[in-house]
């Protein structure tokens, strides 16, 4: 029996609250602990070590006032 799971992207996307994130990888092989800064224009950054994409959780509405 098949499971109806969403298609997994090639690399994981991680939603974050801060424009500065620390990434230590999903495994402990060859991935130093690094600090990444989200691009202020796109609201995301891709880790050069594990290719995970960090994206600001509320970036789309950050400039909208209700």
Residue nearer to Zn ion on the CB measure, 50 or 55: 50
Q: What is the spatial distance between Cα 28 and Cα 31, in angstroms, rounded to a whole number? A: 6
Q: What is the spatial distance between Cα 53 and Cα 26, in angstroms, rounded to a whole number? A: 13
Beta carbons of 53 and 14 less than 8 angstroms apart: yes
From residue 6 to residue 45, the character string flagging contacts with Zn ion as x (rule: CB under 5 A) and all else as - is: -----------------x-x--------------------
* Segment near Zn ion (CB under 5 A); pick from 2-10, 13-21, 37-45, 50-58: 50-58
- Token pair recorded at residue 17: 């609250």
Looking at beta carbons, which residue is closest to Zn ion? 47
């Amino acid at each position: 029996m098949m499971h109806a799971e969403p298609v997994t992207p090639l690399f994981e996307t991680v939603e974050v609250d801060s424009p500065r994130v620390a990434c230590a990888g999903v495994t402990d092989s060859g991935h130093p602990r690094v600090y990444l800064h989200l691009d202020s224009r796109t609201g995301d950054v891709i880790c050069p070590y594990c290719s995970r994409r960090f994206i600001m959780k509320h970036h789309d509405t950050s400039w909208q006032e209700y």
